[in-house]
Amino acid sequence: MAHAAYRSGENIYSEQEGKWKSARTQSRISHSGILLPEGAPSGFADRTTLWNAVEEAETRKNSRLAREVLVSIPREIDPDKHRELVWQFAEQQFVSRGMAADIAIHETDARDSKPNPHAHILLTTREC
Protein backbone atom coordinates (compact mmCIF):
# COMPACT_ATOMS: atom_id res chain seq x y z
CA MET A 1 0.00 0.00 0.00
CA ALA A 2 2.79 2.44 0.87
CA HIS A 3 4.52 1.52 -2.36
CA ALA A 4 1.43 2.37 -4.40
CA ALA A 5 1.09 5.72 -2.62
CA TYR A 6 4.71 6.66 -3.15
CA ARG A 7 4.87 5.60 -6.80
CA SER A 8 1.60 7.32 -7.76
CA GLY A 9 2.03 10.47 -5.69
CA GLU A 10 -1.35 9.92 -3.99
CA ASN A 11 -2.22 9.50 -0.34
CA ILE A 12 -3.92 6.13 0.20
CA TYR A 13 -5.88 5.05 3.28
CA SER A 14 -5.07 1.54 4.52
CA GLU A 15 -8.18 0.03 6.08
CA GLN A 16 -6.12 -2.82 7.53
CA GLU A 17 -3.76 -0.46 9.39
CA GLY A 18 -6.25 2.34 9.92
CA LYS A 19 -3.91 5.04 8.67
CA TRP A 20 -2.94 7.04 5.61
CA LYS A 21 0.05 6.10 3.49
CA SER A 22 2.00 9.16 2.46
CA ALA A 23 2.72 10.12 -1.12
CA ARG A 24 5.92 12.08 -0.56
CA THR A 25 8.07 11.62 -3.63
CA GLN A 26 10.93 13.53 -5.22
CA SER A 27 9.93 12.51 -8.74
CA ARG A 28 7.70 14.44 -11.10
CA ILE A 29 4.84 12.14 -12.01
CA SER A 30 3.58 12.87 -15.50
CA HIS A 31 0.90 10.17 -15.68
CA SER A 32 -0.65 7.64 -13.35
CA GLY A 33 -3.59 5.31 -13.62
CA ILE A 34 -4.94 1.82 -13.22
CA LEU A 35 -5.65 -0.67 -15.98
CA LEU A 36 -8.06 -3.49 -15.19
CA PRO A 37 -8.68 -6.78 -16.93
CA GLU A 38 -12.04 -7.49 -18.48
CA GLY A 39 -14.59 -8.47 -15.83
CA ALA A 40 -12.77 -6.83 -12.91
CA PRO A 41 -14.95 -4.83 -10.51
CA SER A 42 -15.15 -1.24 -11.76
CA GLY A 43 -14.45 0.03 -8.23
CA PHE A 44 -10.90 -1.29 -8.57
CA ALA A 45 -10.18 1.67 -10.86
CA ASP A 46 -9.78 3.61 -7.59
CA ARG A 47 -6.26 3.06 -6.21
CA THR A 48 -7.36 2.97 -2.56
CA THR A 49 -10.15 0.48 -3.28
CA LEU A 50 -7.86 -1.76 -5.33
CA TRP A 51 -5.03 -2.03 -2.82
CA ASN A 52 -7.37 -2.41 0.17
CA ALA A 53 -9.05 -5.31 -1.65
CA VAL A 54 -5.64 -6.85 -2.35
CA GLU A 55 -4.65 -6.57 1.33
CA GLU A 56 -7.96 -8.09 2.41
CA ALA A 57 -7.64 -11.04 0.00
CA GLU A 58 -4.19 -12.01 1.28
CA THR A 59 -4.52 -13.54 4.73
CA ARG A 60 -1.07 -15.04 5.26
CA LYS A 61 1.41 -13.10 7.34
CA ASN A 62 4.09 -13.36 4.65
CA SER A 63 1.83 -12.79 1.63
CA ARG A 64 3.19 -11.07 -1.43
CA LEU A 65 0.70 -8.34 -2.30
CA ALA A 66 2.20 -7.08 -5.54
CA ARG A 67 5.01 -7.33 -8.05
CA GLU A 68 6.74 -4.28 -9.46
CA VAL A 69 8.07 -3.85 -12.96
CA LEU A 70 10.34 -0.91 -13.71
CA VAL A 71 10.25 0.18 -17.35
CA SER A 72 12.92 2.48 -18.76
CA ILE A 73 11.65 4.75 -21.51
CA PRO A 74 14.23 5.84 -24.11
CA ARG A 75 14.99 9.56 -23.91
CA GLU A 76 14.51 9.87 -27.64
CA ILE A 77 10.81 9.07 -27.44
CA ASP A 78 8.62 12.16 -27.38
CA PRO A 79 7.21 12.68 -23.85
CA ASP A 80 3.73 12.94 -25.36
CA LYS A 81 4.06 9.27 -26.39
CA HIS A 82 5.17 7.92 -22.98
CA ARG A 83 1.67 7.25 -21.68
CA GLU A 84 0.50 5.48 -24.83
CA LEU A 85 3.64 3.34 -24.96
CA VAL A 86 3.53 2.25 -21.30
CA TRP A 87 -0.25 1.67 -21.24
CA GLN A 88 -0.01 -0.48 -24.37
CA PHE A 89 2.88 -2.50 -22.90
CA ALA A 90 1.05 -3.07 -19.60
CA GLU A 91 -2.15 -4.06 -21.39
CA GLN A 92 -0.40 -6.58 -23.64
CA GLN A 93 1.92 -8.12 -21.07
CA PHE A 94 -0.08 -8.10 -17.83
CA VAL A 95 -3.69 -6.93 -18.00
CA SER A 96 -4.49 -9.37 -20.81
CA ARG A 97 -3.38 -12.11 -18.39
CA GLY A 98 -5.85 -11.05 -15.70
CA MET A 99 -3.69 -8.75 -13.56
CA ALA A 100 -4.53 -5.21 -12.53
CA ALA A 101 -1.75 -2.74 -13.35
CA ASP A 102 -1.18 0.38 -11.24
CA ILE A 103 1.01 2.59 -13.41
CA ALA A 104 3.01 5.73 -12.63
CA ILE A 105 5.29 7.43 -15.15
CA HIS A 106 8.07 9.46 -13.57
CA GLU A 107 9.97 12.19 -15.40
CA THR A 108 13.19 12.64 -13.45
CA ASP A 109 16.68 13.74 -14.40
CA ALA A 110 19.58 11.29 -14.54
CA ARG A 111 23.02 12.01 -13.08
CA ASP A 112 24.00 13.68 -16.35
CA SER A 113 21.06 16.11 -15.93
CA LYS A 114 19.34 14.64 -18.98
CA PRO A 115 15.81 13.24 -18.80
CA ASN A 116 15.38 9.78 -17.27
CA PRO A 117 11.77 8.88 -18.03
CA HIS A 118 10.62 5.60 -16.53
CA ALA A 119 7.47 3.85 -15.40
CA HIS A 120 6.66 1.87 -12.28
CA ILE A 121 4.00 -0.79 -12.79
CA LEU A 122 2.61 -2.44 -9.66
CA LEU A 123 0.81 -5.66 -10.48
CA THR A 124 -1.64 -7.67 -8.45
CA THR A 125 -0.44 -11.21 -7.76
CA ARG A 126 -3.92 -12.65 -8.21
CA GLU A 127 -6.34 -12.30 -11.08
CA CYS A 128 -9.02 -9.67 -10.54
Instruction: Express each pLDDT in 63-115 by its tens digit.
Output: 888 999 999 999 999 999 999 999 999 999 999 999 999 999 998 777 787 88
pLDDT category of residue 2 using cuts at 50, 70 and 90? confident
| CA–CA gap between residue 89 and residue 108 (Å, rounded) | 21
pTM of the entire structure?
Answer: 0.86
C-alpha distances in Å from residue 4, one per residue of 30, 48, 114: 15, 9, 26
Which residues fall within 8 angstroms of residue 45, CB to CB, at 6 or more apart? 34, 36
2-124: CATH architecture: 2-Layer Sandwich (3.30)
Are 107 and 115 contacting, i.e. CB atoms less than 8 angstroms apart? yes
| Radius of gyration, CA atoms only, the chain | 15
